[in-house]
Structure 1
Amino acid sequence: MTIKVTRVAAGILIKPDGQFLLASRPAGKPYAGYWEFPGGKLEQGENALAALKRELHEELGIEVVQATPWLCQRFDYPHARVELYFYRVTQWRGEIHSHEGQDFAWQQVGALNVSPILPANGPILRGLSLSEVLLFSTAGQIEEADLLRQMAAHWQRRSAWLVLREPQLDTESYRQLCEKIAALSRPHGGKLIAHGVDWCALQDLPVDGVHLSSRQLLTAQQRPRGFDWVGASTHNQIELEQAMRLGLDYTVLGHVCATASHPDQAPLGWTQFEALLSLGWACPCFAIGGQRLADLPRAQSLGAHGVALLSGAWE
């Protein structure tokens, strides 16, 4: 039996200070009283962005000025199978008003004060806590003291996440470097993620998660246990699909642009990057390969969560 899929566009309205808007479902609808991101169903022949703009105007009385695609969440409720296209809305015109009798609440990541949350929206809240900037260390290309100095400076500026990619180090040297980086002050948060290591043997490392190489990703039978965050490097649709099957928290996709670390491999290019993201994925994806902070708006306009920086982080 073919199950009808209800397609929905949802908007995550985000203020400059990071607060985002949740709305309660009005009486008379399934899950009345539950909190969700505002939006509504796509009409016949309507694309997700057009539906989002129409719904937010009808529900909230605002005009969307800036919205970028983000995640696609598929969820089976007892009454329906839904496919939700989430957009991050960072600019709008007009004051928010309740046009359908719903309540609104501005919320902060990690400090929700409303409940219950609509089930399909739960994973989205986790994705919002990811930094938009993912840093990869230099695999021994700069001195340890310089790496520590620059990482301290990064964490003084923003809540960047560091993937510690140092394959030239033995297990004990890697552990010692992890401990030194973990001891750095993180006034804005930020995370330290182990990369390409035997996570079963190193679960006592002072890290917040683990990042899988594409080879580790394809051979993994389940999500690594014992880590709050698990991500992976991907290059194509097959690897992205595997990351979804394992229930990972994020992916990096590339390399997007030409890079000195892969001189003999043709880059994906922005067109192919956008095509792969348009297939719809449930976890945030970072653009990697030849990226700079200046590329962040372009990457996000194509559906990326943010950018992953290699050499661009340490210049």
Structure 2
Amino acid sequence: MKRVHVAAAVIRGADRQILLARRAAEQHQGGLWEFPGGKVEAGEVVRDALARELAEELGIEVRQARPLIQVHHDYPDKQVLLDVWEVSAFGGEPHGAEGQPLAWVSPQQLDDYPFPAANQPIVTAAQLPERYLITPQGLEPGELLRGVRQALAEGVRLVQLRAPNMFDAQYRDLAVDIQGLCAGKAQLMLKGPLEWLGDFPAAGWHLTAAQLRQYAAKGRPFPASRWLAASCHGAEELALAAQMGVDFVTLSPLQPTQTHPDAAPLGWDKAAELLRGSNIPAYLLGGVGPEHLEQAWQAGAQGVAGIRAFWPQT
């Protein structure tokens, strides 16, 4: 069965809302909502196909777009490759040129709309930011609180509280305080034993590679309404993350780092190869910073994660 190559768009308006279209009843997966787009013709460049399809379907001209995620999905009757781009600037007023209903929705509202199964990683990618801040180790709780407060003021929207050298009780107390700081501003990801899950219902959980190997076969430890992430370092762990149904991963180390000098770096080419084999939104980690965002997107990543590169200079 030949895999159908589709160019699709997460189109963001000036208010960051996202444009959806509803599939006609007679179409494959009819009646469900989708991110606009259509088939890539033989020999056609993906971005050109996207621009053509959006002009035909919505009457808009794409002015700014970049890769977001690629998704391979096998339906019983069809195999698809969704080549998804984020469109952040366009000309014209979108309208259903083919009679299809349209809706502008917030990223959070995406969870309320029924999509084809292949679209779930796109929904996640559309909801996640491009930067993932991981807190440095070795800081006192007061320093961590000040740094997180400043990072939130600077627009960070995804924070992992990583403090491997803290006593459990101290970490848990700090998690309560930082959860309060993040409320309404950013998603907090915690680390630790899964027995703690019930104590922090508003937080997501970031699994270590060891936890991923231990728990993957059991599936998600909590419902899809909470974020679940995992640390991955190669194809085997990416496959375990998919088996477990995690929402996103970090893939590391991309380049040599001070914190893990003995770890063999993946390099950009290997990272891109691994991401092509995975449908999970991934942040590249290790020796990268904001200046590597464009390169990360071209490699197929959601964005970049970092410790020192994103930690405010308080």
- Offset at 1:308? 0.9
Residues 133 and 156, structure 2, Cα contact 8 Å, conserved in 1? no
Task: Encode CA deviations 1:19-77: one digit per residue, 9 max, x unaligned.
Answer: 11111223642444432111112333445444323322322233333332223334455
Letter in 2 for 1:205: F
Instruction: Tell me which of 280, 288, 291 is aligned to 2:288.
Output: 291
* Structure 1 runs not aligned, ≥5 long: none
User: Structure 1's 307 and 31: CA in aligned 2 closer, same or farther, altered over 3 A?
Assistant: same
User: Structure 1's 36 and 185: CA in aligned 2 closer, same or farther, altered over 3 A?
Assistant: closer
Please state which structure has a larger fraction of its residues in helix. 2
Q: Residue 147 in 1 paired to residue 148 in 2?
A: no
User: Structure 1's 50 and 275: CA in aligned 2 closer, same or farther, altered over 3 A?
Assistant: farther
User: TM-score, structure 1 length as denominator?
Assistant: 0.86
Q: Which residue of 2 aligns with 1:127?
A: 125
Q: Which residue of 2 aligns with 1:231?
A: 229
CA distance in structure 1 between the aligned counterparts of 2:12 and 2:213, rounded to whole angstroms: 35
Q: Which residue of 2 aligns with 1:191?
A: 187
User: Structure 1's 185 and 252: CA in aligned 2 closer, same or farther, altered over 3 A?
Assistant: closer
Instruction: Tell me which of 202, 208, 232 is aligned to 2:203.
Output: 208
Give the SS at the match of 1:155: helix
Q: Which residue of 1 aligns with 2:276?
A: 278
Aligned length: 309
- Offset at 1:79? 4.7
User: TM-score, structure 2 length as denominator?
Assistant: 0.86
Give the SS at the match of 2:166: coil
* Structure 2 runs not aligned, ≥5 long: none
Letter in 2 for 1:309: G
CA distance in structure 2 between the aligned counterparts of 1:5 and 1:131, rounded to whole angstroms: 30
Instruction: Tell me which of 171, 188, 191 is aligned to 1:174.
Output: 171
Give the SS at the match of 2:107: coil
User: Structure 1's 176 and 93: CA in aligned 2 closer, same or farther, altered over 3 A?
Assistant: same
Q: Which moved more, 1:238-247 or 1:93-102?
A: 93-102
CA distance in structure 2 between the aligned counterparts of 1:260 and 1:96, rounded to whole angstroms: 48
User: Structure 1's 161 and 116: CA in aligned 2 closer, same or farther, altered over 3 A?
Assistant: closer
Cα-Cα RMSD: 2.7
User: Structure 1's 191 and 102: CA in aligned 2 closer, same or farther, altered over 3 A?
Assistant: same
User: Structure 1's 159 and 237: CA in aligned 2 closer, same or farther, altered over 3 A?
Assistant: same
